[in-house]
């Protein structure tokens, strides 16, 4: 399922992957407990860190 995803996800990628709104993706990227990667004013998350965060916060269930 992850074969078509880049290793570093933008808010747009995150939005599509998690089937959420654009605002929801940015809210997630702004959370203190979310593994956001800041490059300048842009926000990203690595696929690996996203999957680890999801497993930790969903009781081991990941997409």
* Per-residue model confidence (pLDDT) at position 48: 95
Label residue 59 left, alpha or beta by phi (over 0 means left) and psi (-120 to 50 means alpha). Answer: left
- The reply to whether 17 falls in a domain is yes
* Per-residue model confidence (pLDDT) at position 58: 85
Domain residues for the domain of 35 are: 8-57
- The reply to whether 1 falls in a domain is no
pTM of the model: 0.83
Q: Determine the average pLDDT of the residues in 28-50.
A: 96
Query: Tokens standing for 28?
Result: 């997630």
Instruction: Give kind and range of the element (H or E) at residue 14.
Output: helix 11-18
- The reply to whether 2 falls in a domain is no
């Amino acid at each position: 399922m992850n074969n078509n995803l880049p290793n570093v996800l933008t808010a747009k990628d995150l939005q599509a992957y998690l089937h959420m709104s654009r605002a929801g993706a940015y809210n997630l990227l702004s959370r203190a407990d979310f593994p956001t990667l800041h490059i300048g004013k842009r926000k990203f998350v690595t696929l690996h860190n996203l999957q680890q965060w999801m497993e930790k916060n969903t009781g081991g269930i990941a997409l």
